[in-house]
Amino acid sequence: MLSGCALRAARPDQPSVQSAHTDSFLPDALTMSTEQRTSTQPISGLRDVDIVDVAIVGGGPAGLSAAIWLARYLHRVVLIDSGDPRNWETRGVNGFLGLPGIRPAELRGRGRDEARAAGATLIDGMCDTVRRRNDGIFELALAGGSTIRSRRLLLAIGLKDVWPDIPGLEHVYGANAHVCPDCDGRECVGKKVVVIGSGRKAVGLALDITTWTRDIIICTNGEPAALDLPEYCTKLDTLNIPVLESPITCVRHSGERVISIDFEDGLALDTDKIFFAIGQYPADDLGAQLGCERDKDGHIVVDDAYHTSVRDCYAAGDIIPGPQLAIAAAGDGAIAALAIHKSLVPMERRLEKLVTAD
């Protein structure tokens, strides 16, 4: 019977490699080549000399929500979408008010239709570079040669998850393998869960999942457990959450159902659900190109109006600190849109702020 931090397999001589998830598991519709997604043809309705009010990079809930609201304010809005959303394989978006379990592709499709109907221009393509000119105008260079110029910029570029390099994981991801306990923890009630990861991230993820089940094991996949604070072992031991360091050879599955996780040392661990906590990184480096301030985890720092450290540049969604929920991202986008709109209203059409005595 496995129990507690003391029951950890010896670290192998050659630890397994943790690697970033690539496009190899993306559906066909999302694996278009750059040539297929982009073009040197002029963008419909835009001339090279045009300056739009707002350019939005990112076509997830944050970007689409912002595009809808800004278009409703009658601003000229362009949204650039690379077509490779983080939640590409999630079976359903949970907790989105009025749309329980909606597929990400359907939510995105509805949002795109609504944004177009409101008057936003949607561009399927990649933004390679961005700069802020001395006159305050942003220039976005798209793959294929087109250039977008805008008075305001919203980065809704999102994050990508680092995947553990484990054969078979791609077949169960989205159905029974996840990264977000807030989104998918409810489906773990009464089930066996394996958390793949190490250190504080893995411990925190395991503790989060105890809301729904106590049948949890942490597997480091050949990495050191990195339980360097006494609190980690104390809490794991109290909750009887074991930690295994042996490398994982594969995830055995039947369709989308997880059968077991197999280890290099011969152990086969039956489980129902898998969560992994390896790491995240920005979907692109546009924020870095502009010099936006970031926190220690790489998120773009914003104020209450979603304004970044770069003048007239805003950010919303998973790329900023906070809960990584679709409904939260949509709310971020809406609030950012309101702030952007107010920043574009000329002084003759708004009242000055009242100064109150202390």
Q: What is the rounded distance in angstroms from the CA atom of residue 71 to the CA atom of residue 199?
A: 45
CA–CA distances in Å: residue 116 to residues 69, 111, 344: 11, 9, 21
List CB contacts of 176: < 8 A, sequence separation 6 or more.
256, 257, 258, 272, 273, 274
Looking at residue 205, what is its pLDDT? 96
Residue span of the structural domain in which 53 resides: 32-158+283-349
Looking at residue 357, what is its pLDDT? 75
Q: What is the rounded distance in angstroms from the CA atom of residue 179 to the CA atom of residue 185?
A: 10
Q: Both 300 and 182 in a single domain?
A: no
Among 284, 318, 312, 314, residue whose Cα is nearest residue 299 = 318
Whether residue 27 is contained in a domain is answered as no
Q: What is the pLDDT along the chain (358 residues), one digit of tens a residue?
A: 333 443 333 333 333 333 333 333 223 333 333 333 333 344 555 655 589 999 999 999 999 999 999 999 999 999 999 887 765 666 788 889 999 989 888 999 999 999 999 999 999 999 999 999 999 999 999 998 999 999 999 999 988 878 888 999 999 998 999 999 999 999 999 999 999 999 999 999 999 999 999 999 999 999 999 999 999 999 999 999 999 999 999 999 999 999 999 999 999 999 999 999 877 777 778 999 999 999 988 899 999 999 999 999 999 999 999 988 999 999 999 999 999 999 999 999 999 889 887 6
Q: Both 288 and 271 in a single domain?
A: no
Among 139, 140, 152, 130, residue whose Cα is nearest residue 70 = 152
Q: Both 46 and 124 in a single domain?
A: yes
Q: Both 262 and 229 in a single domain?
A: yes
**Where is the domain boundary, 248, 277, 306?**
277
pTM of the entire structure? 0.82
Q: Both 307 and 272 in a single domain?
A: no
**What is the domain count for the chain?**
2
| DSSP 3-state of 256 | coil
Sort strands 121-124 and 77-81 into parallel, antiparallel or unpaired.
parallel
Structure token pair of residue 34: 């750059």
Q: Both 250 and 168 in a single domain?
A: yes
Q: Both 151 and 166 in a single domain?
A: no
Q: What is the rounded distance in angstroms from the CA atom of residue 87 to the CA atom of residue 180?
A: 11
Looking at residue 263, what is its pLDDT? 97
Q: Both 153 and 170 in a single domain?
A: no
Q: What is the rounded distance in angstroms from the CA atom of residue 108 to the CA atom of residue 126?
A: 17
Looking at residue 358, what is its pLDDT? 67
Q: At residue 94, what is the residue type? A: N
- CATH number for the domain spanning 323: value is 3.50.50.60
SS3 content of the chain, % helix, strand, coil (to 5): 25, 25, 50
What does the DSSP 8-state code read for residue 102? B
Looking at residue 352, what is its pLDDT? 87
Looking at residue 277, what is its pLDDT? 83
**Where is the domain boundary, 245, 277, 309?**
277
The answer to whether the CB of 149 falls within 8 A of the CB of 138 is yes
Looking at residue 92, what is its pLDDT? 82
**Nearest 10 degrees: CA dihedral of 295, 228, 189, 256?**
80
Looking at residue 282, what is its pLDDT? 78
Give burial (CB, 10 Å; 0-12/13-18/19+) of 41. exposed
The answer to whether the CB of 129 falls within 8 A of the CB of 255 is no
**Where is the domain boundary, 224, 255, 277?**
277
What does the DSSP 8-state code read for residue 300? B
Q: At residue 308, what is the residue type? A: T
DSSP for 63-83, please give it.
HHHHHHHHHHTT--EEEEE-S
